[in-house]
Amino acid sequence: MLTNNQRKYIQSLHQKKFRQQSGAFLVEGAKSVQEVIASDFTIDLLLTTEDFRSQNARLIDSQRIPAEIVSVSELERVTTLESNNAAVAVVKTKENRPLVAGPDEFVLVLDDIRDPGNLGTILRIADWYGIRKLICSETTAEVYNPKVISASKGSFTRVSWWYGNLAGFFAEVNPQRVPVYGAFLDGKDVHGMSFSKGGYLVMGNESNGIGPAVSPYITEKITIPRFGEAESLNVGIATAVIVDNWKRSTK
Amino acid sequence: MLTNNQRKYIQSLHQKKFRQQSGAFLVEGAKSVQEVIASDFTIDLLLTTEDFRSQNARLIDSQRIPAEIVSVSELERVTTLESNNAAVAVVKTKENRPLVAGPDEFVLVLDDIRDPGNLGTILRIADWYGIRKLICSETTAEVYNPKVISASKGSFTRVSWWYGNLAGFFAEVNPQRVPVYGAFLDGKDVHGMSFSKGGYLVMGNESNGIGPAVSPYITEKITIPRFGEAESLNVGIATAVIVDNWKRSTK
């Protein structure tokens, strides 16, 4: 049984303001909760149905997760998902620590990606291709948004992120020495390129692309060749295609 | 001004049952409506704000589109979009005509893709890469669903589709002579493949992949290589990456 205060607290975490105040966010549904338990995130509280608890007893016990058994109807009162018969975890957010690309490391940079579904999809793509770091403009969707967490399908546990000022970041990184690829509609054809193993790939806003503050730091404008008539590709799709081309040219 | 009957009729087209009864569907928002007017679809009725009407006067008049001026608030009563200050078109559905791949033509086949957003994204990808034909299992999301139309960003006007029984279709096509590629998790690495210029690419259901009725007709199982730990990629993402690999190996 949840107390009223617990219920209100968990529901408050649907909103960014309260996530930031509390330093906590929600992870929901069987798969995502299993992944977050097995990760290095700290879980404040796990709400779980009896079934999910017993199916995952070893995992939950070995990690000493504070768990509260609830009914499906109680769970559905606090989840943001359309249906959830498994679990909701209240998880501590991580400190916003600066990240840079290590030697021969490829890092994704998001300049003002607004849609939470796109950000979640990009986390999943990064995880598929073995990219471990994501650098986001302050205007990019908040990674702790439940829609991002849900769309990432557990990949948020294997990718690190830093939110900050991209122009300031690149001014320090010295792009003379590390390539900074940027996706534009009029760049070099990715099919003909040989990418550097390490570097940064900047993907821009859904409507406006890479902004004027970041553009000067792009050392190589790149483009997915078009063979038909669609005006553009969704930013998640474009990220996947470019990363796939990067990976096949450097492996 | 819309009559009550007009309003009810348009709202009924939010539902598949009434779209099928009426042989009509909705195209909504400035960009999609401009594209459908310029296409070979037949428009029964265009609801347009004064602004959209005057900005697109030449297009609307040249195509002799029956147009009705409405207020933004009237438009928002009948649209499925969150906001729409431009237009809604009532458009005739097309006959479900069988399609096959022409010589050297590459055709996409969807086996039970359920999510309308995924189907819309796949239409946009097809259009970007110059694929003109889509063959869908009867269980695949309905292309006239407003979410599909909206996610396709106008690309539904440049791609043809046929819904039917895939096993029956492939039994007739004779895959001995035309390659039928199928996306699996344990197939041949697409990075190392040389694709045939023409053929079929089958993409399967979001959770279960390609079903047992269609599997026997796949002549080549293919896979996007994984370098990290995500369990899978979204089907729209996977379609884009495979099509991109096909295109670069055959152009």
So what's the pLDDT on residue B124? 98
pTM: 0.95
**How far does B154 lie from chain A, in Å, by closest CA?**
8
Joined together, the tokens standing for residue A138 give: 């302050």
pLDDT at A151 over 70: yes
Judging contacts by C-beta atoms under 8 Å, the chain B residues touching residue A35 are none
Nearest to B88 by CA among B39, B34, B141, B147: B34
Q: How many residues does chain B have?
A: 251
Mean pLDDT (whole number) for B158-174: 94
- The alpha carbon torsion through A171, A175, A178, A179 (nearest 10 deg) reads 130
Confidence class for position A177, pLDDT limits 50, 70, 90: confident
B228/A129 touch (CB, cutoff 8 Å), yes or no:
yes
> Rg for chain A (alpha carbons), in Å?
20
Integer distance in angstroms from the first to the last C-alpha of chain B?
52
Q: Which residue of A has its CA nearest to B156?
A: A230
Which residues on chain A are in Cβ contact (under 8 Å) with B245? 244
Q: What is the pLDDT of residue A37?
A: 97
CA of B205, closest CA in chain A: separation in Å? 17
Q: Which of A25, A6, A110, A159 is nearest to A68 (CA)?
A: A6
Lowest mean pLDDT among A38-47, A177-186, B168-177: B168-177
Q: Do A240 and B245 touch (CB under 8 A)?
A: no
- Say if residues A68 and A2 touch (Cβ distance below 8 Å): yes
Q: Taking residues A12-38, what's their average pLDDT?
A: 97
For A192, the token pair is: 């003909």
Name the residue with tokens 């849609």.
A115
CB contact (8 A) between residue A244 and residue B241: yes
- Provide the residue type at B71 as one letter: S
* pLDDT of residue A213 exceeding 70: yes
Asked if A110 and A82 count as a contact pair (C-beta separation under 8 A), the reply is: no
Q: Angle at the Cα of A117 (from A111 to A185), degrees rounded to 5?
A: 45
Compute the average pLDDT of residues A170-199. 91
Please, which pLDDT band fits residue B1 given cuts at 50, 70 and 90? confident
In this prediction the ipTM stands at 0.94
Which of B125, B158, B232 is closest, CB to CB, to A233? B125
Please give the angle made by the CA atoms of A63, A67 and A68, to the nearest 5 degrees: 175
> Cβ neighbours of residue A17 under 8 Å, at least 6 residues apart?
none
Report the pLDDT value the prediction gives residue A175, as an integer from 0 to 100. Answer: 62
Q: Which residues pair with B87 in a beta bridge?
A: B48
Distance in Å, alpha carbon of B226 to nearest chain A alpha carbon: 6
Select from B133, B233, B245 the residue whose CB has the most chain A CBs within 10 Å, as the one to mutate to test that interface: B233
| Span A30-82, pLDDT tens digits | 999 999 999 999 999 999 999 999 999 999 999 899 999 999 999 999 999 99
Confidence of residue A1 (pLDDT cuts 50, 70, 90): confident
Q: Are B234 and B199 a contacting pair, CB within 8 Å? A: no
CB contact under 8 A, A247 and B227: yes
pLDDT bucket at B183, cuts 50 / 70 / 90: very high
| CA distance to partner chain A, nearest, from residue B24 (Å) | 24
Contact (CB<8Å) A237/B233: no
Within 10 angstroms of residue A31's Cβ, the number of other Cβ atoms is 14
Please check whether residue B53 is in contact with residue B33, taking contact to mean a CB–CB distance below 8 angstroms: no
Q: Report the C-alpha gap between B168 and A241 in whole angstroms.
A: 33
pLDDT at A98: 94
As given in the structure block, the two tokens for residue B92 are 């005739």
pLDDT tens track for B3-54: 999 999 999 999 999 999 999 999 999 999 999 999 999 999 999 999 999 9
Contact B158 A228 (CB under 8 A): yes
Separation CA B247–CA B198 (nearest Å): 11
B73 class by beta-carbon count within 10 Å (0-12 exposed, 13-18 middle, 19+ buried): exposed
Q: How far apart are CA B20 and CA A213, in angstroms?
A: 50
Q: Are strands B199-204 and B160-164 parallel, antiparallel or unpaired?
A: unpaired
Q: In the structure, what pLDDT confidence band is assigned to residue B175 with cuts at 50, 70 and 90?
A: low
Residue B204 structure tokens: 């399967």
- In eight-state DSSP terms, residue A209 is B
- For A127-145, what is each residue's pLDDT tens digit? 999 999 999 999 999 999 9
CA distance B23 to B93: 5
In terms of Cβ atoms closer than 10 Å to its own Cβ (0-12, 13-18, 19+), residue A60 is: buried
- Are A180 and A202 a contacting pair, CB within 8 Å? yes
Average pLDDT, chain B: 96
How many other CB atoms are there within 10 angstroms of residue B31's CB atom? 14
DSSP A205: B
Pairing of strands B67-69, B43-48: parallel
Environment class of A78 (CB within 10 Å of its CB; exposed 0-12, middle 13-18, buried 19+): buried
Q: What is the pLDDT of residue B56?
A: 96
pLDDT number for residue B173? 83
Say if residue A176's pLDDT is above 70.
no
Residue B109 has pLDDT above 80, yes or no: yes
Contact B86, B48 (CB under 8 A): yes
Mean pLDDT of chain A: 96
Task: Give me the helices (H) in chain B, please.
Answer: 4-12, 16-22, 30-37, 50-55, 57-62, 72-78, 116-128, 146-151, 166-173, 235-250
In this complex, which of B127, B232, B233 lies closest to A230 when CB atoms are compared? Answer: B127
Q: Which residues of B touch A (CB under 8 A)?
A: 121, 124-131, 153-155, 158, 191, 224-234, 236-237, 240-241, 244-245, 247-248, 251
Sheet holding B220-223, edge to edge: B160-164, B133-137, B106-111, B199-204, B180-189, B220-223
In one-letter notation, the amino acid at residue A53 is R
**Selection from A177, A213, A212 nearest residue A198 by Cα:** A177
